[in-house]
Structures are given as structure tokens and as C-alpha cells.
Amino acid sequence: MALLEQWRSSAYSETANKGELQRMWAAYFQKEKEIYQELLKDPKKEAKGTVKELAEKFQVDIMTMTGFLDGINDSLVKQNPIEEMDEDTKVSLKFDIELLYKNMVGAQADWLYELEEWDTILDEERRKELYKEQKVSTTVIKEEKVYPNDPCPCGSGKKYKKCCGKN
């Protein structure tokens, strides 16, 4: 069984004790925060190696590193082959700074996008812009319904039913 499959089956188990699962996630989020704090100290430096080597470097177990790789993958410059990786798979943690920030906002991970390490990477103004971009990109805007006797939205001046609403 691939590492990612093992991680997901334990982290998202529907049969596991809810208390144990909550404790597991609380411990995971703390480790995740520590890894991000380390990575954000020098965001231009690429952390790379095998899954096992990175787990050792960041002092976490293989499953925690697998979860971390799953979470950061969409923010990487080049995604890792997480679906089929094992502990000897070479991976890179080279991330796109702004994409990472936006993905943290999208995941509602305030414990990550509010890390003080961001202060030296992105100024407050840029973080606000990225935050807003992310929130707007996931906001569903319901278009106003156009009724047959309304003016046509194309701007012709005709009624909708006599213009773009024709069958």
C-alpha cells in the first residue's frame, strides 16, 4: 500500500475512535506548523530528499511527513508523485510563496497563514491582497435571473424575450 493511501486511511478513518482521531490531528497540526516555520525562515532554499530523509530532517514520522506532502503538494512549483510514493521516493518542497499563502487561506488554516515568519516574506498589504483574492476566487456569485419582459442584458434595448431569449 502506497504511503498516501496509508495516511488517508488512518487520518480520515470513519471507524477510528473520534477522540484518538482528534488527538492525532492536533498533534499533526502542531508538527505541520513547526515544519512551515522552518521552511519559511528561508523560503528560497529548497528542501529536498527522500520522504524518509525529510521526515528525519523535520523530526517527524513517515506518516506525518506523508500528510504534510499531501497538504503542500498543490503549492509546489513542481508537484511530487504523492499517489505512488514510498519512503525512498525523492521529493522537493520548493513552493510558490504566494500560492502557498493563498492555499493556507483557502484551507482556513489561520495557524499557518498567520505565522510571524510571513512578516519578513510578504508585507501586510500583499498578504491582504492575497487573502482577498483567495476569498473572492471561492465566492459563488449567483447571477440575477432575467425574466422575459426585462431589458436584454446584452444592451440592445429590446426585451429579453425579443432578443437573446428567443428560442
Does position 35 have pLDDT exceeding 90, yes or no? yes
Does position 142 have pLDDT exceeding 90, yes or no? no
Average pLDDT on 78-97 reads 95
pLDDT category at 167 given cuts 50, 70, 90 is low
Average pLDDT on 9-17 reads 90
Q: CA 38, CA 50: separation in Å to the nearest integer? A: 18
Q: What pLDDT is stored for residue 73 in this prediction?
A: 96
Average pLDDT on 35-55 reads 96
Average pLDDT on 121-142 reads 89
Does position 139 have pLDDT exceeding 80, yes or no? no
pLDDT category at 12 given cuts 50, 70, 90 is very high
Q: CA 7, CA 96: separation in Å to the nearest integer? A: 25
Q: What pLDDT is stored for residue 16 in this prediction?
A: 87
Q: CA 93, CA 75: separation in Å to the nearest integer? A: 9
Q: CA 165, CA 152: separation in Å to the nearest integer? A: 8
Q: What pLDDT is stored for residue 166 in this prediction?
A: 84
Exposure of 66 in the CB half-sphere (CA atoms within 13 A): 21
pTM: 0.80
Among residues 72, 79, 83, 76, the alpha carbon closest in space to that of 107 is found at 72
Among residues 86, 106, 94, 109, the alpha carbon closest in space to that of 28 is found at 109
